[in-house]
Amino acid sequence: MAAKNAAGGGAAAPTVATPTPGTSNKNLLQQLPAGPVLAFQALAATFTNQGKCLTSNLWLTAGLVTFLSATCIFFSFTDTVKDESGKLHKGVALPGRLHLVDLTRKEQKAMASELKKRGLKPVDWVHAFMSLVVFLTIAGGDVGLQNCFFPFATDDTRQLLRNLPLGMAVMTSFLFMIFPTTRAGIRFDNNNTTPEPAAEKSDGAAAKKEGKPVDKVLTSSANLLQLLPTGPVLAFQTLAASFTNQGKCYHSNLILTAGLVTFLGATCIFSSFTDCVTDRNGKVRKGVALPSQLHIIGLSKKEERELFDHNLLREKKLKVIDWVHAFFTAVVFLTIAFSDVGLQNCFFPKADDDARQLLKNLPLGMAVMSSFVFIIFPTTRKGIGFDDTEYTVIPSSDPAPATKPVP
């Protein structure tokens, strides 16, 4: 974390909290292309016309896959760093340096030496390639896409497309564990958003600038993505082709698929009730909101009293807004899951055109509506999937100007 200079103190340089090579604070889900998979699954049924493709559907689907593939690569090169004042800056790694999108080249000169250390590296290309491969194999496992692009595929080819997503996801997970990224990406802003006291802004030159539009858009998108069920959708899309046997269901496939949807739907609800708090020792603890208070996982009642202020835990008890978020998160996941052509062929083999039109268009509508709800009623919880990365601190290379003594 950024070291704060003492008021009127000397020029002690802050510690650069660069992550140790070979380690990463990011969990596995944050390194996999969960966002692009969620976007693809929400739009796939509409774009592919549930596998009954016209020429326009082919072009739309190809464009969607190409665009989301590009986002997988792009976000592997993004990073978030913190300046000495504690402000977060989003950036893109270039061959020679890290370019901060909300600062001009002139404003970045003061921290040029540190930004050069965060330039593009070979491991970034490895992560970009593996993220791209995972997304493409998961997208290729979609039955609707297969019916559009491979209508005459042999059984052998369909077996490959069915099992490849699961295999690639497992292999890539191992690679991400062995070669973890040290980049924070463009994620949920985990800074304390409480406004600074007015006294801090007495000097106009030192007042914080308003973020640029591109920075606000990236931050808002990351915050919204954090609230949508990216993890459950990624897991479902990875396993759906195998569990549904690409829509040719036996009784065992029905049971497996129903169990998968039920379990992942439950995780959507459970995750909405989770939170992260920092104890008196500075350690981040995971907890579950209960009607009376926030229960810290792995701690006894006695340990909770020793490490936390009881009032803090009571303030974070279960609230009505948590149920609202849980409901909409579960609904988004279920509508996206039931738009899968393989699942529809298993559970609704004789559905009429009207029912299929509903299943086709409902995911997009629910995703848009839920996004509005999440924006209007944002959550203050930092769930278990929350990114609590210790951002790299970028100090200024220019010495702080001496302040004139006040007469």
Least confident of 17-26, 223-232, 326-335, 353-362: 17-26
Mean pLDDT of all residues belonging to the chain = 77
DSSP string, 31-88: HTTHHHHHHHHHHHHHHTGGG---HHHHHHHHHHHHHHHHHHHHHHTEEEEE-TTS-E
d(CA 237, CA 140): 10
> So where are the chain's domains?
28-191+214-273+318-393
Task: Please spell the DSSP secondary structure of 313-356, one letter per residue.
Answer: HHHTS--HHHHHHHHHHHHHHHHHHHT-HHHHHHH-TT--HHHH
Between helices 34-47 and 320-338, what is the axis angle to 10°?
50
12: helix, coil or strand? coil
Sequence-distant (6+) residues with CB within 8 A of 306 are 280
**How far, in Å, CA of 180 to CA of 192, rounded?**
27
Spatial distance between the Cα atoms of 46 and 149, rounded to a whole number of angstroms: 15
Distance CA 382, CA 288 (A): 11
Task: Count the residues in the chain.
Answer: 407
pLDDT score at 83 = 78
- State how far the Cα of 370 lies from the Cα of 375, in Å rounded to an integer: 9
Distance CA 139, CA 330 (A): 22
pLDDT for 404 equals: 45
Extract the runs of DSSP E, i.e. beta strands, from 141-261.
none
pLDDT at 22 over 60: no
Identify which has the larger pLDDT, 224 or 42: 42
pLDDT tops 50 at residue 313: yes
CA-CA distance, 250 to 245, in Å (whole number)?
8
Q: What is the tens place of the pLDDT at every residue in 99-151?
A: 888 888 888 888 888 888 888 998 889 889 988 988 998 888 888 898 889 88
Residue located via tokens 């997988």: 72
Residue 221 has pLDDT above 50, yes or no: yes
* 258-296 tens-digit pLDDT: 999 999 999 989 988 888 888 888 787 888 888 888 888
